[in-house]
Amino acid sequence: MTEKLDFDGERFTPENVREIWYEHMHRYAFAAPMVAGLDVLDAACGEGYGAAMLSATAHSVKGVDVASKAIEHAKCRYDLPNLDYQQADCCNLPFEDHAFDCIVSFETIEHLEGQSKMLSEFRRVLKPTGFLLISSPDKAVYSEQQGFDNPFHVRELYRHEFETLLESEFPVCRFFGQKLLFHSAIWPMSEGGKETSGTRMNAHLQTHSDEGPVENARPVHEAMYLLAVCAQDKQALPELEPAIWMFDDQQESVYKHYQHEIRKNMQAGAILAERDAQLLQLKQELAESSGPEESQRSWLERLGIIRRR
């Protein structure tokens, strides 16, 4: 089995957990139906997981990344007949004009200074009938609202900057937003004892399984609570279209609590690691001391177990 690529904070790997996993995997699950039967370039493919996901529906996928280590890893881990990886710079792509039906480039542009150059290259290698699917964090939300500084980002963009930059090369653009949210969900389960799982709802649901993203007509999870609308006559029931009803609060209280607990645990882990290092150093000093009784007392004093003389 291919060894996993160590996460260094710059490139996502599938072994990451929690919100970063949801965010990265969802973008490729969102893209997969769009690239069905197409020749695709995954620009800045990183570890290679996303290009592999796209290859399940695409005619062919070429993954490129500037890091040779990531490319060599991807070649070993994702060996598929319609998938190929190549080391390349997104600002200087080694492909002929109009080579691809689609380019996918998620969370790339903020890592570059030459953002216009990259977009120009994308336009060059795209067929006139092709399209680009690209993402980038909104600086106002990602960094400023959260007080977060990503050291791997060279130039983050505000929403209006992102839109203006893209429209300079691609006159026709449709914009979407993405954010991990905590919601309460209500959905239809059954009617008269008959499951309605085959009914198409007014929502696009994707659930990740061992086989990859799977589209569902309703959530696959077991309901914690059961709701019912009842009457003596069917005509008395309110008309409810097959749908999913989502509810949250404007303050995002659950998400904020979650983030608070994560940060608290991370801080506690850092404190424990520092204490462990101090203990190790003190034990080494005690072992190397020529006066064991006095050194032991000094060690206990430094730990605060006994009072200093």
- The pLDDT, as a whole number, for residue 152 is 87
pLDDT for 277 beyond 60 = yes
- The pLDDT, as a whole number, for residue 202 is 61
Mean pLDDT of 24-32: 89
Least confident of 30-39, 132-141, 206-215, 265-274: 206-215
Q: Which residue has the tokens 């994560």?
A: 262
pLDDT for 201 beyond 60 = no
User: Is 57 within 8 Å of 211 (Cβ atoms)?
Assistant: no
Mean pLDDT of 131-135: 93
196-204 long-range contacts (CB < 8 A, ≥24 apart) are: 196/242, 199/242, 200/242, 201/242, 201/243, 201/244, 202/241, 202/242, 202/243, 202/244, 203/243, 203/244
Q: Is pLDDT larger for residue 127 or for residue 260? A: 127
Mean pLDDT of 57-72: 95
- The pLDDT, as a whole number, for residue 237 is 74
Mean pLDDT of 22-39: 90
- The pLDDT, as a whole number, for residue 194 is 46
pLDDT for 55 beyond 70 = yes
Mean pLDDT of 111-125: 94
- The pLDDT, as a whole number, for residue 109 is 92
Mean pLDDT of 253-271: 82
Full-model pTM: 0.74
Alpha helix segments (H runs only) across the chain: 19-31, 49-54, 68-77, 115-125, 139, 159-167, 253-288, 292-303
pLDDT for 192 beyond 50 = no
Number of helices (H), then strands (E), in the chain:
8, 11
Percent of the chain with pLDDT over 70: 80
Confidence at 39, pLDDT banded by 50, 70, 90: very high
Least confident of 51-55, 100-104, 162-166, 213-217: 213-217
Mean pLDDT of 116-122: 95
- The pLDDT, as a whole number, for residue 151 is 87
Identity of the amino acid at 269: G
- The pLDDT, as a whole number, for residue 295 is 59
pLDDT for 120 beyond 50 = yes
pLDDT tens for 78-98 read: 999 999 999 999 999 999 999
The DSSP call for residue 108 is -
Mean pLDDT of 198-225: 70
Q: Is pLDDT larger for residue 145 or for residue 242? A: 145
Average pLDDT, the chain: 82
pLDDT tens for 212-249 read: 777 776 777 777 767 777 666 788 677 877 678 877 77
Strand-pair partners of 206: 215
